[in-house]
Structure 1
Amino acid sequence: MAYKVGISTGFWNIGKDPSLLGLAQKAGGLGATGGIRFTQLDLETISEFLEPRLKENMKRMQKDLGLEIGLHGEISQMGAFESAERKTWEQVHSRMVETVKRSAELGFKYINYHYSASIILQQEEARIRPFGFSYHVVTPTGEPFPVLCDKSKAAKEYVMRMMEINALGRHIMSEKPYQELAEKKWEEIRRKYAERIKKAIEALRRNPEYQRLHPELQRQQEEKINQEFSAAAQNEQERETRGSRDFFYEAWKKSPYTRYVLEGGEIDAYMVVAHSMKEAGDPLWTSIVGNLTPEEAYNDKPLQFNAAVAAKYIEGHFAAVKNKDLDGKTVKDFVGDKELYILFENPEAGAGQEGLYRFFNPLEFYHLIKKISSPYFKMTIDFEHMLTQRIDPDKLVKDAPEDFGKQIKMLHLGEPKPYHPAHIPIPLGSQAQEVLYKWIFAFRKKGFSDGYLIFERGAGRRPGDQSAFNVFEHSIWVLRQISKFLDNDTEPDQLPPEFFGMSFDNKDIWARQLVTIREHAWDPLHDVLAIPEEKHTFLGGEAVRKGKAQEWEKRKFR
């Protein structure tokens, strides 16, 4: 089968489901008992990797039960790869590296991350601009900005223009490197002007008119020379230090604290990176933004501006930084050696933030996947998340490049509803089943010929009911039907009744119905015979005695 059907486990912190207590329990307690061979574990914290005997238990389930396992990485701010804030960048990168290393050790098939966790900068100007200089920012590779500016003339010029702004200037002037450089510069100027004063006074004393003057007048003239040259020295010192952008830049580069500071915080960080991208002709800039300058794009194409620079930060985390804990390799090279997929999923949005995330459009993320150019970096498509970001899946499928499907490795599926997050089961024989098939089939025509079809579990239709049927209903069977007919290349308008579970040719449904008929064939004789009657098999009887009759009825045919 070209497509593998699986489920996601969900989060213990949300439902407090005992079957989700730890990664091993998520895999075995939920995935294995649900009749599923592929399970996506939802990581809630990297502390889950420290669970006692995790590796031993996970390997046993993979070997003895034949389970295949993928991992959904951390979400929210711990997955904010687009952030330029130093504290966030370093936390996110460190946790991601540990997740990659542990996942490779545990034999996982993939790690799935969201593109973005933050809204666009333009929506946060009132917060960022007044206090931007009060926190550290870094480049896409996690370095202070002088490193990038030394490589990019355009980036350096943008930063040097900001050197005249008071807040950043005060920060630079308050640090020791500025003071040491200023003292060194003053010493150079002082020596130079001391020599000029000496020569000027010597020349004055050789003047016959000077020699005829009264000693007091001679002293006054020499004092005047001293004052004039001293004033000139002070003016030159001012020009060469406080009045020099080059001087401020050199002091900024050497400042232990301020080299991580930009006047506008993340806004200026994104602007500096944008200038370097524009100058270099970076395909992430030209493909997403076009030929606009960073200033023009910031105002006229805010979504594209944020997406392009966010893409550069994601590229930095995964394809540019070498990591000691990954054998000195980039994540890209490490996962290639380990055959571990890194998947990126379009993020969902809450009410009031629809279509305002820094990076949310799969058609734009496509350009980053193409640039990274690794068979182990692919996309995850979530139609429900698309709807929450005000993206029309029908239009996206139509507008997608012809090789778009080749960049997809996984689909997160559920009944497509525009809520954050719904994660509702897919009803058997429903419009949702038909619509999902149409969208997936369109991706298949554009290259999505194999991958994972994952039902993302939620709380079901009845909150508080943690029974498997409420959580999953017929979703797995629906996805298996979708997979089956995709493999047969059945056009959406040619789907037979069997696809919707209404045909006797459907062997699975027919077999279940036959078992039901046989089990209840003797029901008319109930209470008629004089001998003791047995209503249940051994397992069914045990379920009844322990008060689990209802649960048994729901799952006895799985």
Structure 2
Amino acid sequence: MSLKVGTTSGIYYAAREAELHSAIRKLGYTLTRGASAMELAVDVAHEVTFTQGQEIRHMARKQGVIINLHGDLSVPMEMPERGEWRDSQDRIKKSLRSAIFAGAKYIDFHACLNIWLELITYAGRKLTMSFCDPDGQFISEILYKSKPTREWFIKYKGDHYLNDVLDRDENIRLSTRIRVDSERWEKEETERRMRAALATILNEPVPRAARNTPDGIIIPHVRDLIDEIVDSALIRGVPYRTENPKVEAVIKKTLDELAVVRSEESARLRDRTVDQFLREKLSDPDLKRRRWHSEELRAMVGIVDGYHIMTHYMFYTQDPLWLAMAGQYKDVLQRYGYDTKNPDWLEETWKKAESLNDRDYKEFFYAAASAKYIEGHMRAALNWLNGDFIKKELPQLTKDPKERAELTAVARSLIIGLENPDAREPSHAGLYFLYRPKQIYAAVKTIRRVLKTDKVMMIADFEHLATQGIDAILEARDFIAKTPDFGALTISCHSNHPNPLHAHYPLELGDVVLYELLYHLRVTGFGRDREAYMIFERGGGQDPFVHSVDSLRLMAEFLLKDPPVPVDDLPLEFFGMKGLTGGDIQRQMQIVRDKAFEPMKDLLTIPEEDFTLLSQTAIRGGKRPEVWKRGEFR
């Protein structure tokens, strides 16, 4: 297969240029750059309409250019909130429509949009939340399916969400059950303690005189006496009066001890009763009976709770994505004594990581959960694409069987690429859910296996990686070069120099840093089994491209050799000093000589005089002063 060199069109809201006013103008302008492929960057998800798509596909066919599309830049696929999940999926569908109408080979989505949930402020966000699972269903379904997750939720989160789970009638039943259970315990505990205490001082038989009651009733047996004392404490609520001081002292001491433990035991009894009540509701097979009173959660909790629920579900079920991400962070998990047999390991580890401010663990935590939500979005997108879109929407859009067949083929072959995101704010560098190559690699490879699809791939962007505070070269050497199929799972690379400033400035000839990054992709399978793309992302300015396309073409030439040319073996031609890229080396050296003194031009000055210090010598040599005065080098 081959490597196609292309450029992006740019987006209007960033560059504000006239050539970016519409999708058609973006295509027309980019066609003048001399590339064989282009990535149409949309400002809004629904930018390419069906009608515009017909024109774009026609232009692309006539010009022999491959179209790809960068989807909506505001798709928070990683969010655990049901409303945001639905909005994200809607934008994904709209972006997919735009890509299909444009005849795109792949569509690009950023793997995540947001920073860690604990850093998100409430400004501009919903005041209530509705947590969801990866498929957009309310979180109660995960708690129903997984008993360990349910038990963890009851133990650590039950009190926080009690009023959201139970309706008014259930709260009344719960209160009644707590009261009844409390009264039962109190009676049983009073009787047990009384009998145990009295049995030590009363022996059977007891002298008749010692068994006289205050009412003058004679109790013939010690057991009857104990029954009378217990009944007095439980039914009449007053201590039993007897002429025996020793018995009265034991009764008083027992009741005092009971008063001390009553409050503690009542709290424990309430906890057990609430836990059991929640357990019965959350595990009820009947959907109506286990439905929560309110799915708009009003509890004063952070949105990070949604991730805690999801990660516990993944941990207890040993989800494939959990295992894949744990494999990338073995050293981090070993520091915390990773133990799948300890049901509280995840809860304890989070608290410890919080106290230590351990970014490495949180990087793993957020990557694992966000990958699961991306899996759900990919499943929903592919099901919609191969189902409702092809079978229902396309027949309504066009009656032309040839056009329908063309768009169906585009839809079935469309690759969804997940790109590592840029850090929009420098202060948030390294605090995104999925931004490292190893995270996205683990997510994409596992999602492909779980969903049984080859339509989900990676898009590498080393400039984005640099904005996250990562040295792209070191990352590529440490991970990409050591992962044999990393390049094979990559459909495209946004080929800009890894600049932390996210400048998108034009490429220069001989950029060995970018070449090395592309080299590591190539030797791990980039463009070997299928066509892959090297895309320059344009910035702004009078000429956003300059020599960028030429530079990438030259890189592709050396990458396509078998084997690819290592960085240390690159010839002079790569640096523009030989061949068509810059003329032969002799001509270039002559140009250097001719221009050698130009940097000094107008920098050296002397006072203007009629004659210089050498004028006397010139006169002695037979030169008239006027001639010397007019000389070129006076």
Match of 2:22 in 1: 22
Counterpart residue number, 2:319: 282
Counterpart-to-counterpart distance in 1, 2:113 and 2:552: 29
3-state SS, counterpart of residue 533 of structure 2:
strand
Note if 1:311 corresponds to 2:371.
yes
CA drift of 1:448 comes to 1.7
> 2:428 aligns to what?
353
Partner of 2:494: 412
Following superposition, the deviation at residue 387 of structure 1 comes to 1.2
CA contact (8 A) 1:8 1:454 kept: yes
Task: Look up the equivalent residue of 2:484 and give its one-letter code.
Answer: E
Cα distance change on mapping 1:8 and 1:305 into 2, 3 Å: same
Structure 1 position 288, deviation (Å): 2.1
Change (3 A) 1:376 1:336: farther
Q: What's the offset of the Cα at 1:485?
A: 0.9
Superposition deviation, residue 352 in structure 1: 0.4
CA distance, structure 1, for counterparts of residue 374 and residue 109 of structure 2: 11
Structure 1: distance between partners of 2:490 and 2:472 = 15
1:244 to 272, 277, 280: 277
Corresponding residue SS for 2:68 = strand
Instruction: Report if aligned partners of 2:321, 2:442 keep a CA contact under 8 Å in 1.
Output: yes
**Structure 1 residues 273 and 241: alpha-carbon distance in aligned structure 2, compared to 1, 3 A threshold:** closer
Q: Deviation at 1:456?
A: 0.3
**Residue 258 (str. 1) matches residue 336 (str. 2):** no
Matched AA of 1:90: R
Q: How far off its partner does 1:443 sit? A: 2.1
Between the aligned partners of 1:321 and 1:278, the Cα distance in structure 2 is 26
Deviations along 1:66-96, one digit per CA (max 9) or x if unpaired, are 2211111111xx3211111222111011110
Residue of structure 2 equivalent to 1:168 = 161
Distance 1:55 1:405, change over 3 A: closer
Is the CA contact (8 Å cut-off) linking 1:121 and 1:267 kept in structure 2? yes
SS of the counterpart of 1:452?
A: strand
**Aligned twin of 2:192:** none
Please say if 1:87 is aligned against 2:83: yes
3-state SS in 1 of match to 2:426: coil
> Structure 1: which amino acid aligns with 2:376?
G
Contact 2:103–2:410 under 8 Å retained in 1: no
CA distance in 2, matches of 1:72, 1:34: 18
Aligned mates of 1:375, 1:164 — CA distance in 2: 41
* Residue identity opposite 1:275 in structure 2: H
Match of 1:387 among 461, 466, 485: 466
2: CA distance, partners of 1:459 / 1:260: 45
Q: Secondary structure at the match of 2:558?
A: helix
2:414 corresponds in structure 1 to 340
Q: Closer, same or farther in 2 for the Cα pair 1:164/1:99, shift >3 Å? A: closer
Q: Call closer, same or farther: CA 1:41–1:317 in 2, change over 3 Å.
A: same
Aligned counterparts of 1:242 and 1:442: Cα–Cα separation in 2: 54
Distance 1:22 1:298, change over 3 A: farther
Residues 296 and 479 from structure 1, CA distance in 2 versus in 1: closer, same or farther, beyond 3 angstroms?
Answer: farther
Paired residues for 1:145-184 under 5 Å = 145-162=139-156, 164-165=158-159, 167-173=160-166, 175=167, 178-179=168-169, 182=172
1:100, distance to aligned residue in structure 2 (A) = 1.7
One-letter code of the match for 1:341?
Answer: I
Task: Give the aligned residue type for 1:171.
Answer: D
Aligned to 1:107: 103
Hey, what's the Cα distance between the residues in 2 that align with 1:94 and 1:336? 20
In 2 relative to 1, CA 184–335 (structure 1 residues): closer, same or farther, beyond 3 Å? Answer: farther
- What TM-score results when the alignment is normalised by the length of structure 2? 0.63
Residues 314-373 of structure 1, C-alpha deviations (whole Å, 9 max, x = no match): 01110267755651599xxx9997111111111111210111111111112111111122
Q: 1:548 aligns to what?
A: none
Q: Match of 1:218?
A: none
Secondary structure at the aligned position of 1:391 is classed as coil
CA distance in 2, matches of 1:435, 1:163: 50
Q: Equivalent residues in 2 for 1:389-404 (5 A)? A: 389-400=468-479, 401-404=483-486
Distance 2:367 2:375 in 1: 12
CA distance in 1, matches of 2:88, 2:276: 39
Letter aligned with residue 487 of structure 2: G
The answer as to whether partners of 2:472 and 2:498 remain within 8 angstroms in 1 is no
TM-score after normalising by structure 1: 0.71
Q: 1:13 & 1:258 partners in 2: Cα distance?
A: 37
Counterpart residue type for residue 148 of structure 1: I
In the alignment, which of 38, 53, 56 is matched to residue 55 of structure 1? 53
Partner of 2:454: 375
Contact 1:137 1:262 in 2 (8 A): no
Shift in alpha-carbon separation, 1:348–1:154, aligned structure 2, 3 A: same
| 3-state SS, counterpart of residue 117 of structure 1 | coil
- The separation in 1 between residues aligned to 2:310 and 2:272, in whole angstroms, is 29
Q: Which runs of 5+ in 2 are unaligned?
A: 181-216, 218-230, 238-266, 331-337, 340-344, 354-360, 391-407, 588-634
Mapped to 2, the partners of 1:297 and 1:392 lie a distance apart of: 29
Q: Per-residue displacement from partner, 1:215-243 (whole Å, max 9, x unpaired)? A: xxxxxx9xx99x9xxxxxxx999986797
The amino acid that maps onto 1:109 is K
The one-letter amino acid of 2:60's match is Q
Contact 1:348 1:386 in 2 (8 A): yes
8 Å CA contact 1:294, 1:305 repeated in 2: no
| Contact 1:133–1:264 (CA under 8 A) maintained in structure 2 | no
RMSD: 3.7
Aligned-partner residue type, residue 398 of structure 1: R
Matched, 1:472 2:536: no
| 1:508 CA drift (Å) | 5.4
2:470 corresponds to 1:437: no
Residue 53 of structure 2 contacts residue 103 of structure 2 at CA under 8 Å; is this kept in 1?
no
- What secondary structure is seen at the aligned counterpart in 1 of 2:454? coil
Give the match's secondary structure for 2:427. coil
Q: Does 1:492 align with 2:486?
A: no
Percent of pairs with identical residues: 28
**2:428 match: secondary structure:** coil
Gaps of 5+ in 1: 191-208, 210-220, 228-234, 461-466, 515-558
- Counterpart CA distance in 2 for 1:283 and 1:242 is 30
**Cα displacement (A) at 1:185:** 11
Deviation at 1:33, TM superposition (A): 2.1
Aligned match of 1:446 in 519, 524, 531?
A: 524
- How many matched pairs? 447
Equivalent positions of 1:5-84 (< 5 A) are: 5-28=5-28, 30-50=29-49, 53-75=51-73, 78-84=74-80
Confirm or deny: 8 A CA contact 1:380 1:412 kept in the other structure: yes
Q: Which of 112-121 and 334-343 deviates more?
A: 334-343
Flag the 1:319–1:479 CA change in 2: closer, same or farther, 3 A.
same
TM-fit CA distance, 1:283: 2.9
Task: Letter of the 2:318 partner, please give it.
Answer: G
Which stretch shifts more, 287-296 or 265-274? 287-296
Paired residues of 1:20 and 1:26 also in contact (CA < 8 A) = yes
Distance of aligned partners of 1:285 and 1:322 in 2 relative to their CA distance in 1, 3 Å threshold: same
Aligned residue number for residue 298 of structure 1: 350
Deviation at 1:395, TM superposition (A): 2.2
Q: Which moved more, 1:268-277 or 1:439-448?
A: 439-448
Q: Cα 1:476–1:159, aligned 2, differ >3 Å: closer, same or farther?
A: same
- CA displacement at 1:295 relative to structure 2: 2.4
SS in 2 for 1:485: helix
The amino acid that maps onto 1:158 is W
Quick check: 1:413–1:453 contact (8 Å CA) kept in 2? yes
Matched ranges for 1:103-142 at <5 A? 103-124=99-120, 134-142=128-136
Larger Rg: 2
**How far apart, CA to CA, are the structure 2 residues paired with 1:55 and 1:66?**
16
**Could you tell which deviates more after superposition, 19-28 or 5-14?**
19-28
- Report the CA distance between 1:411 and its aligned residue: 0.9
Is residue 491–residue 527 contact of structure 2 (8 Å, CA) maintained in 1? no
**Inter-CA distance 324–473: structure 2 relative to 1 (3 Å threshold):** closer
Distance 1:244 1:322, change over 3 A: farther
